[in-house]
């Protein structure tokens, strides 16, 4: 028996979508008012939406300022320390010799957040040294692998573990990839304006947590393009894939988006491929009878999402993505932007 059910009936809490205003058959697009194209990024929690937004900033804007980069220093260190505190005890259970370094990380990191603290650099050496030693230990890595297999959201720890010596150096300056890999919980709505091929775009990234979805409502009006992100790697996590498909169903069949271009990103292909090695896809989806390959299993999941579309005339433009791969994302985003502009010109009767 797998841990991810094959049926995709309701996964629990429902959330209300807005009805059309009286007298309107469809919302009036902002492109008809001020010439900008409104993009709405949607998807469940931990699907990688925020990483796409960071990539977009790097590719289509001036990127991150020095002050913004510096603000990621404590965020990255906190991510490492909080991750270690989450599964560190499991590592100690495998190897008691790790207890001393785990204790250093848990109890002696108070001075590393304030650069004006007299103990700042000493604290970095102490905590950073403990992190480096923990990550070098085979038992700790085994505990991490076991935890990561059952808990999505820790995939970036290995990347930062390999860079822990540099990260806990006093002069650490985050690279683009450091920022892309850093997980920071989002809340509410994040907006980003940018231009591409002479067109102005207005993008809204909304938090995917179920408790936050009521905040999406005011973003629904005047949407030209819906970009929906789901994590392929959730196939083995109970309810998460079901919730993704159910949420996509509610979005794509909502009247607010009748005239919106819909683009589906099936994300985290890298994590998905690694999981397939140790977690048989067929055990999670008993109705799957194909080979355990990325090509076949990913197409199976794509069809689950496509089946949610109840309008045979509405086309879904889908892409398999790894949001942390800048080269691949650059190509995909350029393809998507060209599609969006083409649909926009067709809407205006100019193509």
Q: CA 243, CA 11: separation in Å to the nearest integer?
A: 6
209 is a catalytic site residue: yes
Q: How many helices (H) and strands (E) does the chain have?
A: 13, 6
Segment (H or E) for 249: helix 240-252
Question: Of residues 46, 178, 202, 246, which has the active-site annotation?
Answer: 46
Which residues make Cβ contacts (< 8 Å) with residue 282, sequence separation at least 6?
A: 2, 288, 289, 292
Assign 228 to helix, strand or coil.
strand
205 is a catalytic site residue: yes
Question: Of residues 186, 192, 209, 250, which has the active-site annotation?
Answer: 209
Radius of gyration of the chain (CA): 22
119 is a catalytic site residue: no
The DSSP code sequence of 331-345 is HHHHHHHHHHHHHHH
Angle between helices 66-94 and 99-107 (to 10 degrees): 140
Question: Of residues 155, 205, 222, 246, which has the active-site annotation?
Answer: 205
Q: CA 329, CA 325: separation in Å to the nearest integer?
A: 6
Question: Of residues 126, 163, 181, 183, which has the active-site annotation?
Answer: 183
51 is a catalytic site residue: yes
| Sheet with 199-206, edge to edge strand ranges | 189-196, 199-206, 36-42, 225-231, 261-267, 316-320
The DSSP code sequence of 225-237 is EEEEEEEGGGGGS
55 is a catalytic site residue: no
Would you mind telling me the total number of residues written for the chain in this entry?
351
Q: How wide is the angle at C-alpha 263 spanned by C-alphas 46 and 289, nearest 5°?
A: 75
Tell me which residue of 6, 8, 10, 7 sits closest to 210, measured CA to CA.
10
> What separation, in Å, do the N-terminal and C-terminal C-alpha atoms of the chain show?
52
Question: Of residues 31, 51, 269, 324, which has the active-site annotation?
Answer: 51
Q: Please identify every residue annotated as catalytic.
A: 46, 51, 183, 205, 209
């Amino acid at each position: 028996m797998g841990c991810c059910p094959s049926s995709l009936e309701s996964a629990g809490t429902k959330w209300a979508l807005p009805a059309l205003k009286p007298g309107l058959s469809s919302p009036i697009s902002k492109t008809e008012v001020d010439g900008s194209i409104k993009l709405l990024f949607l998807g469940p929690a931990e699907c990688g939406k925020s990483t796409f937004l960071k990539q977009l900033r790097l590719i289509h804007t001036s990127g991150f300022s020095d002050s913004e980069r510096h603000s990621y220093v404590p965020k990255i260190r906190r991510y490492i320390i909080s991750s270690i505190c989450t599964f560190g005890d499991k590592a100690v259970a495998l190897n008691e010799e790790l207890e001393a370094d785990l204790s250093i990380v848990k109890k002696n990191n108070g001075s590393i957040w304030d650069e004006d603290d007299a103990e700042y650099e000493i604290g970095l050496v102490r905590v950073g040294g403990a992190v480096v030693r923990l990550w070098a230990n085979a038992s700790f890595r085994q505990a991490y692998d076991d935890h990561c297999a059952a808990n999505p959201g820790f995939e970036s720890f290995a990347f930062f573990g390999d860079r822990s010596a540099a990260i806990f150096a006093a002069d650490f300056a985050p690279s683009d990839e450091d920022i892309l890999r850093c997980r920071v919980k989002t809340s509410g709505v994040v907006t980003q304006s940018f231009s591409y091929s002479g067109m102005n775009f207005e993008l809204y990234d909304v938090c995917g947590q179920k408790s936050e979805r009521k905040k999406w409502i005011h973003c629904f009006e005047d949407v030209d393009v819906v970009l929906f992100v789901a994590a392929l790697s959730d196939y083995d996590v109970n309810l998460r894939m079901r919730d993704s498909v159910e949420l996509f169903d509610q979005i794509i069949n909502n009247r607010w988006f009748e005239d919106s271009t819909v683009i589906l990103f099936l994300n985290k292909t890298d994590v998905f491929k690694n999981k397939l090695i140790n977690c048989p896809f067929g055990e999670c989806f008993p109705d799957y009878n194909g080979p355990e390959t990325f090509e076949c299993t990913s197409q199976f999941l794509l069809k689950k999402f496509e089946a949610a579309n109840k309008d045979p005339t509405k086309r879904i433009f889908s892409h398999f993505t790894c949001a942390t791969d800048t080269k691949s994302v650059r190509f995909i985003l350029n393809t998507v932007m060209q599609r969006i502009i083409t649909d926009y010109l067709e809407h205006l009767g100019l193509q």
